Amino acid sequence: MAGLVSADLERRLRALEDRAEIAELIARYGPAVDSADAAEVSALWAADGTYRFDDTVLDADGIRTLVDLPSHREYLRRGCAHVLSAPRIEIDGDTAVAVTHSVVLLRDGDHWEAERVSANRWELVRTTNGWRVRERRNHLLDGDAVARELLAP
């Protein structure tokens, strides 16, 4: 009986640790891009990871240069904040899916306006260095069914 309790406790503890690590990984994204820390942004992704937004697909090299895109540099110049909701996380062994909303706020005078409001689906993989993003898909919440599908379980 004690062995069963111990195994169940170990399984539950690992699930909690995985959830906490994944949530922390996603939470690091906003501060990393808002501080133009290309190394930190890149470190969130697996070596073969991708990031899809709008009509753009970035591979590992593109993810490293994300903070240098002209549109992102303009966001930084104006004052921006990439804000993500708490993730809904589903773990299946060494893979996971997390779903979030994201808002990019841009400064306009003495206030901030929502520039982008998006649905996000993060597909993650456990690596020897911990959880990393295998693929992130981001789509504007503009009424298109694609965005709603990203939010679905």
Residue 132, pLDDT score: 98
Element (H, E) at 121: strand 111-127
**pLDDT at 4 > cutoff 90:** no
Q: In this structure, how many other beta carbons lie within 10 angstroms of the beta carbon of residue 148?
A: 12
Structure tokens at 115: 């520039």
CA–CA dist 5, 23 (Å, integer): 27
Residue boundaries of the structural domains of the chain: 2-151
- The pTM of the whole model exceeds 0.75: yes
For the structural domain made of 2-151, what CATH number should be given? 3.10.450.50
pLDDT in tens, 34-64: 999 999 999 999 999 999 998 899 999 999 9
23 burial level (CB within 10 Å; 0-12, 13-18, 19+):
middle
pLDDT in tens, 95-141: 999 999 999 999 999 999 999 999 999 999 999 999 999 999 999 99
Diameter of the chain measured on Cα atoms? 65
